[in-house]
């Protein structure tokens, strides 16, 4: 059947377009593998010294079928780092890859000198030893490779992990916090696999333009796992670690759950939801009640995010699966002790954003580099992506922000929805397409999905000089690598 989409893309791209819309489809999901929980590295328990090794490895995404991958001291992904707020930590990052890499602390309010962006390159065989602390509210952050022009493929192969900032007060908050038992990290990613089970990565211009979409969703590096959980309230720390795929997540029985934290910290109160949209880079912590003891599935749900953007055809590529697809199962077990039975009524997240002391306003436009109108213009733009009409250049500082000030940024997307990210700050969403931010996005954020226009309140409380500027970019990693990124100092 000839659809609008097939005419638009031409037949060569058809197979790819079909893939972009599918969730778990390569094989019938089996749910026989237990959810792997990344090892917890508690910095305090090891004298505040943390070592991570970036290396090539072999990893079994499917049972008993190891294939080439990358990992941080693991076959795929990395350990979950537990850091106490304000504790100085000595990091040792070794690069055992055959290519340069970096480790970026996504969501960390840490200075440009140690932020791990493209200017903190570690050569093959090299080592990087930054000492610093996370002095910011408790949150589920993450770390990932961020080398110049090669972020997408390195993250795709496995160079990412979670980083928890804690103040040891979750019992007072009434929140589950037994890591791996009633507090589960879930790194969700879509991947494409070849017939032999190895990871496939599409380097075509179409994949650069749209971002890399896989046909299979993996959780913590495996396909279709199950997790035993207590028959009570369980905390799930969700990260959309996909390169490009926007996920809408919910449960097969449409049970309600409560969001307790957005990207960079707790909300002021739990927000009741039935599903949540997560763009690449976004995190959401949720509480789910499994007291009924019923097995239930986390699903990737259909959605139309993206279709409201300027170019409907491109937006269509960003939509969800045709129908709900199971991603993993939760199996409540009576033997696992229940700690939390109720949702807390309140949390200690921030109140209404204070816009009374705004220093300046800035505009950010996310779009491909254009050489004319429409699709042809994009082709003539050489497949480069841009931010405010310029493609990223390591040797150009795009703007300067003043340390200790707060700015309002108006960010606009063109042609498709872009998840927009800023290093070195946690921002607040003032409006999304003219409307106030929904409650579950009203807390501290560092990524926001921009379909049309969002307004952000952005404080700059830590410095970055011209040798180690902060980045701001689209978190579709192919767009970032293709230049939809700018760098700025905070002085
Ligand atoms: Cu998640 Cu510039 O990065
Ligand atoms: Cu970041
Ligand atoms: Cu983008």
Q: What is the pLDDT of residues 399-456, one digit of tens each?
A: 999 999 999 999 999 889 999 999 999 999 999 999 999 999 999 999 999 999 999 9
- pTM across the whole model: 0.94
- Minimum-distance ligand 1 atom for the alpha carbon of 142: 1
Q: Is 7 exposed, middle or buried (0-12, 13-18, 19+ CB in 10 A)?
A: exposed
Residue 352 C-alpha to ligand 1 middle, in angstroms?
26
The ligand whose atoms approach the alpha carbon of 366 most closely is 3
Query: Alpha-carbon distance 131 to 467, whole Å?
Result: 18
**Nearest residue (CA) to ligand 1, atom 3:** 106
Query: Alpha-carbon distance 261 to 212, whole Å?
Result: 28
pLDDT confidence of residue 309: 62
Q: Check if the beta carbon of residue 365 is closer than 8 Å to that of residue 388.
A: yes
Residues facing 488 on adjacent strands: 399, 470
pLDDT confidence of residue 311: 63
Residue 200 C-alpha to ligand 3 middle, in angstroms?
21
- Minimum-distance ligand 1 atom for the alpha carbon of 144: 1
Give the binding-site residues of ligand 1, using a 6 Å CB cut-off.
Answer: 104, 106, 144, 146, 281, 421, 423, 471, 473, 475
Alpha carbon distance, N-terminus to C-terminus of the chain: 58
What DSSP assignment string belongs to 278-333? E-TT-EEEEEEE-TT---EEEEE----TTTTSS-HHHHHHT---SS-EEEEEEEEE
185, 140, 209, 207 alpha-carbon torsion, rounded to 10°: -20
- b/e burial code for range 334-368 (CB count within 10 A of at least 16 → b): eebebbbeebbeebbbbeebeeeeeeeebebebbb
pLDDT confidence of residue 18: 40
- Minimum-distance ligand 1 atom for the alpha carbon of 473: 2
Residue 251 C-alpha to ligand 2 middle, in angstroms?
29
The ligand whose atoms approach the alpha carbon of 487 most closely is 1
Q: Which residues have C-beta under 5 Å from ligand 2, the single-atom ion? A: 106, 423
pLDDT confidence of residue 313: 62
**Nearest residue (CA) to ligand 1, atom 1:** 106
Residues sharing a CB contact under 8 Å with residue 404, sequence separation 6 or more, in sequence order: 460, 461
Residue 281 C-alpha to ligand 3 middle, in angstroms?
12
Residue 37 C-alpha to ligand 2 middle, in angstroms?
23
* Residue 293 CB neighbours (<10 A): 10
pLDDT confidence of residue 231: 97
Helix locations, 4-67, DSSP H: 4-9, 14-20
What length does the chain have? 491
Query: Alpha-carbon distance 313 to 5, whole Å?
Result: 7
- Minimum-distance ligand 1 atom for the alpha carbon of 485: 2
pLDDT along the chain (491 residues), means of 10: 29 38 52 96 98 98 94 98 98 98 98 98 98 98 98 98 98 96 98 94 89 95 97 98 97 98 98 98 98 97 79 71 95 93 93 95 93 71 89 97 98 93 98 96 98 97 98 98 98 98
The ligand whose atoms approach the alpha carbon of 115 most closely is 2
Residue 227 C-alpha to ligand 3 middle, in angstroms?
33
Residue 334 C-alpha to ligand 3 middle, in angstroms?
45
């Amino acid at each position: 059947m000839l659809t609008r989409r097939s005419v638009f893309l031409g037949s060569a791209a058809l197979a790819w377009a079909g893939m972009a819309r599918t969730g778990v489809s390569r094989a019938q999901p089996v749910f026989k593998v237990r959810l792997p929980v990344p090892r917890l590295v508690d910095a305090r328990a090891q004298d505040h010294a943390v070592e991570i090794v970036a290396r090539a490895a072999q990893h079994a995404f499917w049972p008993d079928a190891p294939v080439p991958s990358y990992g941080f001291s693991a076959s795929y992904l990395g350990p979950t780092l537990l850091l106490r707020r304000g504790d100085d930590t000595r990091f040792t990052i070794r690069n055992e890859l055959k290519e340069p890499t970096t480790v970026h602390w996504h969501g960390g309010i840490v200075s440009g000198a140690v932020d791990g962006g493209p200017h903190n390159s570690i050569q093959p065989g090299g080592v990087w030893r930054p000492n610093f602390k996370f002095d910011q509210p408790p949150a589920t952050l993450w770390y990932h490779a961020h080398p110049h022009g090669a972020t997408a493929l390195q993250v795709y192969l496995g160079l990412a992990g979670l980083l928890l900032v804690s103040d040891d007060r979750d019992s007072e908050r009434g929140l589950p916090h037994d890591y791996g038992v009633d507090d589960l990290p879930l790194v969700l990613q879509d991947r494409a696999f070849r017939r032999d089970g190895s990871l496939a990565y599409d380097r075509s211009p179409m994949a650069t333009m749209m971002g890399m979409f896989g046909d299979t969703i993996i959780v913590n590096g495996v396909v279709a796992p199950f997790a035993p959980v207590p028959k009570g309230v369980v905390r799930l720390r969700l990260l959309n670690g996909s390169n490009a795929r926007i996920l809408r997540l919910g449960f097969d029985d449409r049970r309600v759950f409560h969001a307790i934290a957005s990207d960079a910290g707790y909300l002021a109160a739990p927000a009741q939801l039935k599903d949540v949209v997560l763009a690449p880079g976004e995190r959401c912590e949720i509480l789910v009640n499994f007291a009924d003891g019923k097995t239930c599935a986390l699903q990737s749900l259909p959605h139309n995010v993206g279709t409201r953007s300027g170019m409907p055809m491109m937006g269509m590529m960003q939509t969800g699966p045709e129908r709900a697809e199971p991603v993993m199962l939760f199996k409540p077990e009576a033997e696992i002790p229940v700690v939390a039975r109720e949702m807390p009524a309140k949390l200690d997240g921030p109140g209404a954003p204070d816009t009374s002391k705004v220093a300046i306003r800035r505009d950010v436009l996310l779009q491909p580099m254009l050489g004319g109108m429409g699709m042809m213009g994009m082709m003539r733009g050489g497949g480069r992506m841009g931010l405010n009409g310029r493609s990223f250049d390591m040797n150009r500082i795009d703007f300067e922000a003043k340390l200790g000030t707060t700015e309002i940024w108006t960010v606009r997307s063109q042609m498709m929805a872009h998840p927009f990210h800023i290093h070195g700050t946690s921002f607040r969403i003032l409006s999304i397409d003219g409307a106030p931010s929904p409650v579950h996005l009203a807390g501290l954020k560092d990524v926001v999905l921009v379909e049309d226009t969002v307004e952000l309140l952005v404080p700059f409380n830590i410095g970055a000089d011209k040798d180690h500027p902060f980045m701001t970019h689209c978190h579709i990693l192919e767009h970032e690598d293709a230049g939809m990124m700018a760098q700025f100092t905070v002085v």
